[in-house]
Amino acid sequence: MAHMGTSVSYASDGAIGRVTFRRPESMNSLNDAVMADLFDALRAANDDRGTRVLVLAGEGEHFCVGGDPAWEAEFDPDSVPAAMRLAAYVSAELRSSPKPVLGAIRGYCVGGGNELNLHLDATVASETARFAQPETRWGILPFWNTPQLLPSIVGERIAKEMLLFGRMYDAEQALEIGLVNAVVPDDRLEAEVDAWAAELLDRSPTALAMVKVALNGAASPTGAPFDHQAAMVSLAAGTERYREELLGFYSARGERRPRPAPGRRPR
């Protein structure tokens, strides 16, 4: 079983299923068409009985830079609910999948890219990986289950730091705070992720599914919290501040990009 969408593909490689962003020219940015394509690819992956572990990656130098600014700049109170419903469908395919989903992350993993990372079961990062949630610069908050998932992964204190300050974290800093599981040289990324997948293939698929159900159920981001986020985003989307900061973040000058996060210990 395979899915070859315009922007996201799915293909089986033995017992490993590979879901891959295919928009390297835009650093694998997201829009409504990409999100729909991602949903279709994940649905195909979950329906494929021949695979037991899934790997999510991006073509090119970057995993995913989050929402395409041309798409997000058009958000308004009328369009936000539909975008969030689609995000919820993608979340369900990842969180409800009985198969472990691993991330292979290099380059930028920011905004919606990192929110996608939060939905994965384990992540291996290249030394080139960079992580950030810069949304407060735009007068908005990250809405893709981030207020629920991020504290459960890095702890409330670090989650507040990431969301309030919007700093950029390199791969080693991401490992230190628990945002990723391992960091390897860039040329070893695929081999390391495949080694993790092979280790999972040696486990009981029933037991793995049970672990996911148990842990995901304890930190379920669905229902009222998601609706609450939709209401908050609708209030900010479409404002002058939102559009100005969003487009400035991706401008050639880059004057509004996140500054590096400080070290955790004195050097």
Predicted pLDDT at 126: 98
pLDDT for residue 50: 96
CA distances from 53 to 83, 108, 122, 173 (A): 28, 24, 11, 27
| Tokens representing residue 186 in the block | 């860039």
Assigned token pair, 160 = 């507040």
Instruction: Specify the pLDDT at position 237.
Output: 59
pLDDT for 262 equals 73
The owner of tokens 């990723």 is: 180
DSSP label of 184: E
Which pLDDT score is estimated for 213? 86
Collapsing DSSP states into helix, strand and coil, what is residue 117? Answer: helix
pLDDT tens-digit map of 150-166: 999 999 999 999 999 99
> Could you tell me which residues come within 8 angstroms of residue 177 by beta carbon, excluding any fewer than 6 positions away?
154, 155, 158, 169
Residue 224: per-residue pLDDT:
47
Which tokens in the block code for residue 44? 């195909």
Instruction: Give helix then strand counts, H and E, for the chain.
Output: 11, 10
Tens of pLDDT, residue by residue, the chain (267 residues): 678 788 999 999 999 999 999 999 999 999 999 999 999 999 999 999 999 999 999 999 999 999 888 787 777 777 778 888 899 999 999 999 999 999 999 999 999 999 999 999 999 999 999 999 998 887 788 878 898 899 999 999 999 999 999 999 999 999 999 999 999 999 999 999 999 999 999 999 999 999 998 888 765 554 445 555 555 555 555 566 666 666 666 665 555 567 787 777 655
The confidence score (pLDDT) of residue 144 equals 87
The tens digit of pLDDT for each residue in 219-246 reads 555 444 555 555 555 555 556 666 666 6
Q: How far apart are CA 7 and CA 253, in angstroms?
A: 28
Nearest to 21 by CA among 2, 39, 8: 8
Q: Among 135, 137, 170, which Cα is nearest to 264's?
A: 170
Which structural domains are found in the chain, ordered by start?
Answer: 3-188 (3.90.226.10)
